[in-house]
Amino acid sequence: MHDRADHMERLRETIRTGMIDETVAGVKDLIAMGYGAEAIMNQAMIPAMDEVGELFQKGEYYLPEMLVAGEAMKQGLANIRPLLVRDGSSFQGRVVLGTVLGDLHDIGKNIVAMAIEGAGFEVIDLGHDIPPEGFVQAILEHKPIAVGLSTLLTTTMGAMSDTIQAVARAGLREKVRIMIGGAAVQQDFASRIGADFYGPDSVSAMRYVRALLKEALRG
């Protein structure tokens, strides 16, 4: 019989080694044991991704291992989603999210989307590898309260700046707030490229859009 800590450790291991079915079963077990979404993500799932990143950096993992671990993570998260996302009946406003051009990483962005949806917002998730014009089009079409850009690669940080400039060129900069996040970026970069907000994690991003909504309702 395993105790609770063993279940967390086991989930970390199944994600790290890309065992998809076992990951889904592990997430379900932890939910049945009464763990909340944040505990499961913060104690097992996100640390597993960090371990995968370290193994890749050390040359012990190659792209295929990172890929299957990422897939296990995504399938596990799909089972966490119902805990975080309400039925949408308390619609509060719309937020556009996407990972910028050249970057295929979308797990962190998906977690941010779940947190924001969970707070009652409608999220228009554009996906990954989104060119600046894709964000501009989405702002015109959906008129969101905020746009969120995510990136994990240092090589695609420039695409964030390009996107903000494209939004400004389209005459939309005053109409929408832009937040950025993802492991490659920090506050000083956000300030430098003229983003309105840098979110280190999903909760801060969710709090920011909530604060924006309060401001809009007051305004």
83 binds ligand B1M (CB under 6 A): no
Q: Decide whether 2 or 175 has the Cβ nearer to ligand B1M.
A: 175
Give the residue with the Cβ less far from ligand B1M, 60 or 87: 60
At 217, which amino acid appears?
L
Q: Which of these segments, 5-13, 98-106, 119-127, 160-168, binds ligand B1M (CB under 6 A)?
A: 98-106
Site string for ligand B1M, 35-74 (x = CB under 6 A): -----------x--xx-xx--xx-----x--xx-xx----
Q: Which stretch binds ligand B1M (CB under 6 A): 10-18, 19-27, 108-116, 136-144?
A: 108-116
Taking the C-alpha atoms of residue 198 and residue 179, their distance in angstroms, rounded to an integer, is: 6
Among candidate residues 68, 34, 37, the one with its CA nearest the CA of residue 206: 37
Instruction: Confirm or reject binding of residue 96 to ligand B1M (CB under 6 A).
Output: no
Coil, strand or helix: which one is 179?
strand
CB proximity list for 37: less than 8 A, separation 6 or greater:
80, 83, 84
- Please identify, among the stretches 2-10, 119-127, 132-140, 148-156, the one whose residues bind ligand B1M according to the rule CB under 6 A: 148-156
Query: Token pair for residue 50?
Result: 């960090």
* Complex with ligand B1M: residue 145 or 218, whichever CB lies closer: 145
64-71: long-range contacts, CB 8 A cutoff, minimum separation 24:
65/18, 67/18, 68/18, 68/20, 69/15, 69/16, 69/17, 69/18, 70/107, 71/18, 71/20
Long-range contacts of 35-38 (CB under 8 A, 24+ apart): 35/4, 36/83, 37/80, 37/83, 37/84
One of 47, 183, 196, 210 touching ligand B1M (CB under 6 A): 183
Task: Tell me the C-alpha distance between 179 and 66, whole Å.
Answer: 27
For ligand B1M, which is the closer residue by CB, 64 or 89?
64
Residue 44 carries which DSSP code? I
Of 21-29, 81-89, 165-173, 174-182: span binding ligand B1M (CB under 6 A):
174-182
Does residue 182 interact with ligand B1M by CB under 6 A?
yes
Interacting residues toward ligand B1M by CB under 6 A: 46, 49-50, 52-53, 56-57, 63, 66-67, 69-70, 102-109, 111-112, 148-150, 152-155, 179-184, 199, 201-202, 205
